[in-house]
Amino acid sequence: MSSMRTGADYRESLRDGRRIFVLGEGLVEDVPTHPATRAMVDEYVAWYDRHFEPEWQDTLFTPPDKDGCRSPVGYLVPRSAQDLARMGRCFSATTFLSAGNITHTPAYGHLIAMGVQTVVNQRNASPEQRVNAEAYRALIARTGRFLTFAAGAATIGYRLREDPAERAALRIVKETDKGLVIRGKIGMHTSPAYAHDVYIGAHNGVDYKGHRATFVVAVNAPGVTVVCRKPAARDSNPFSAPLSARFDELDGQMWLDDVLIPWDRVFLAEPFADPVARWLFWHQLYCWLSKAEFTLGLALACTHAMGLASHDATVEYLVDLITDVQTVRSCQTAAELDPEFTPEGYCSPNPLHLSAGSIAMLKARPRMGEVLRTLPGSSLVVAPTDRDLAEPALAQGLEESFAGGGYTAQQRAALLQMAWDHVGSALDHRESVYELHANGGIPSWRGRLRRSFDRYEELANGVLRHVNLPMPKIDLQSIRNAPLVVRRPVNPTVPPPSRPAVAELARNPVTAGKVR
């Protein structure tokens, strides 16, 4: 079996001198034990340790090779549809454990590193850049080092600066023999408190030798400060908050005060041509699908617990949820079985199917949440906690109100509390808001779908062959190449992007929206 970092090793690795602030909590002296971060550290520890549990071996590892060695599936470099499918099964199984709430794991970091390597190779970078990108990807696969993603966009204060030249997120302070010294602030990204490195993508505004520079920054590097959002509001009682008490990744900003980026962590890309996200969108959709499947699972469990399995209207609700789930899962299967290949032979999910699945999921999610809020009836609102059930003055009455049909009051209340936490808590609201800003929402996905669809002429001209008249040959590439919807400007006084810039963005839509 290939080597894999243990959870204990990961926990200790976070005591590396990093400077982390959580809004409303202040400076975090020790990430593994602070109340705002402890639960997520425990979940990441479990992620690593799961690789040592016998029941997970066939999900998390490849079959033995001729020498009997097995490799972690999350760190595969996919070269076939079969590899993608194996990785997809792994991601589906592991993201379901958190109801889709843990979206950034070390496996996600390896997908980022593969994307960085692909970018470097596709732009015909120098041999040194190619070697550095491959070496960094291999380092992550070998050590389990945790990398997270930031698109590199500037914070609101920077974007509103009077001087347009000062609005970029980052700037080069100086160049040294060891690397570039960088200063600035980047906006929202996920899990920076728990990662070892952050990849800062092409929206950062730093140009170097005619190319856009991107960076891998160590979270504990001198001069780095991470400022995380306030924790999602949650009940202190785990019985009432079985999900939100455990799965809060803490999005944040990164501030860089004259941070040295070693040369082997500087990767030259292009301002818009940045396909780093090709595997990330796929993993993201698995997280969304896990949230949807968890919603369906809760709806099924509540149907049984509320005695509604023979209720026609409830069954119709369930069929709607099943349809939503199966539509997205079919898109994922299609993306893996109908893949694309990078020039170096890496297999990547088909963006056409990913776009269709993402749009379907974004449209379905509000409706799925509403079904789960509706299905249990008013009991969802007044469900007691375990403390209420233990209160002598209430215990007998609550047992009479909530027990029956094979369930104790505590069992039925536990299920209702989980349903409430899944679709009615601050954690759910945070996730919905984050996804709106993380990838541009439905408008950006519609643009990606339009750009990925490649049968405009085939279908239109195919129809014309059935017309018994000479017909002009149809060319509809203007639809495919039309600029994407431009994200709303932060500063109304700033003129819109030039048409050439918008056209270039349209030709390279993969980073039109920020990716987590």
- What value does the mean pLDDT take over residues 357-362? 95
496: which DSSP letter?
P
Tokens linked to 245? 């008490």
Q: Directed axis angle between helix 441-452 and helix 351-374, to 10°?
A: 150
Residue 490 clears pLDDT 90, i.e. is over it: no
436 pLDDT band, cuts 50/70/90, is low
Residues ≥6 apart with Cβ < 8 Å to 79 = 345, 346, 347
Residue 516 clears pLDDT 60, i.e. is over it: no
Same domain, 305 and 268: no
Q: Which of 417, 438, 459 is the last residue of a domain?
A: 438
- Give me the pLDDT at residue 422, please: 94
Residue 75 clears pLDDT 90, i.e. is over it: yes
pTM: 0.91
Same domain, 351 and 447: no
Q: What is the 3-state secondary structure (H, E, C) of 394-443?
A: CHHHHHHHHCECCECHHHHHHHHHHHHHHHHCHHHHHHHHHHHHHCCHHH
61 lies in a domain?
Answer: no
Q: Within 13 Å of residue 458, how many CA atoms lie on the same side as its CB?
A: 3
- Give me the pLDDT at residue 427, please: 81
Same domain, 321 and 379: yes
Distance CA 281, CA 192 (A): 19
Distance CA 94, CA 263 (A): 35
Same domain, 297 and 434: yes
Q: What is the pLDDT of residues 416-430, one digit of tens each?
A: 999 999 998 888 877
Distance CA 362, CA 367 (A): 10
Query: Torsion angle of alpha carbons 24, 169, 280, 505, nearest 10°?
Result: 140
Same domain, 394 and 376: yes
- What value does the mean pLDDT take over residues 382-386? 95
Same domain, 257 and 300: no
CATH number of the domain that residue 312 is part of: 1.20.140.10
Range of the domain at 469: 441-511
Q: Which of 391, 422, 438 is the last residue of a domain?
A: 438
174-180, long-range: CB within 8 Å, 24+ apart, which pairs? 176/260, 178/260, 178/262, 178/263, 179/260, 179/261, 179/262, 179/263, 179/265, 179/266, 180/208, 180/213, 180/215, 180/260, 180/261, 180/263, 180/266
Same domain, 376 and 468: no
68 lies in a domain?
Answer: no
134 lies in a domain?
Answer: yes
Same domain, 214 and 291: no
Residue 81 clears pLDDT 80, i.e. is over it: yes
64 lies in a domain?
Answer: no
Give the position of tokens 């990441």: 44
Q: CA 436: distance to chain centroid? A: 12
Tokens linked to 350? 């088909």
- CA nearest to 110, candidates 82, 85, 136: 136
492 pLDDT band, cuts 50/70/90, is very low
Same domain, 356 and 409: yes
Of 125-129, 130-134, 399-403, minimum mean pLDDT range? 125-129
271 pLDDT band, cuts 50/70/90, is low
516 lies in a domain?
Answer: no
* Residues constituting the chain: 516
- Give me the pLDDT at residue 343, please: 86
- Give me the pLDDT at residue 21, please: 97
Maximal CA-CA distance, the chain:
87
- Give me the pLDDT at residue 499, please: 42
374 lies in a domain?
Answer: yes
Tokens linked to 494? 């700033």
Phi/psi at 444 (5° precision):
-70, -40
- CA nearest to 158, candidates 100, 206, 107: 206
Same domain, 356 and 481: no
- Give me the pLDDT at residue 504, please: 41
Same domain, 272 and 289: no
Q: Assign 513 to helix, strand or coil.
A: coil
Tokens linked to 394? 């209430």
Of 17-21, 64-68, 101-105, 196-200, minimum mean pLDDT range? 64-68
Report in angstroms the alpha-carbon separations of 442 from 109, 248, 369, 485.
25, 24, 18, 11
Average pLDDT, the chain: 90
User: Residue 290 in contact with residue 422, Cβ under 8 Å?
Assistant: no
290 pLDDT band, cuts 50/70/90, is very high
Domain count along the chain? 3
Distance CA 9, CA 14 (A): 9
Residue 52 clears pLDDT 90, i.e. is over it: yes
Residue 9 clears pLDDT 60, i.e. is over it: yes
CATH number of the domain that residue 49 is part of: 2.40.110.10
69 lies in a domain?
Answer: no
66 lies in a domain?
Answer: no
Q: What is the pLDDT of residues 34-49, one digit of tens each?
A: 999 999 999 999 999 9
- The CA R_g of the chain, rounded to the nearest whole Å, is 24
Report in angstroms the alpha-carbon separations of 64 from 34, 58, 69, 280.
40, 10, 5, 27
- What value does the mean pLDDT take over residues 399-428? 94
Same domain, 380 and 445: no
344 pLDDT band, cuts 50/70/90, is confident
Q: Which of 438, 467, 495 is the last residue of a domain?
A: 438
**pLDDT > 90 fraction of the chain, expressed in percent and rounded:** 79
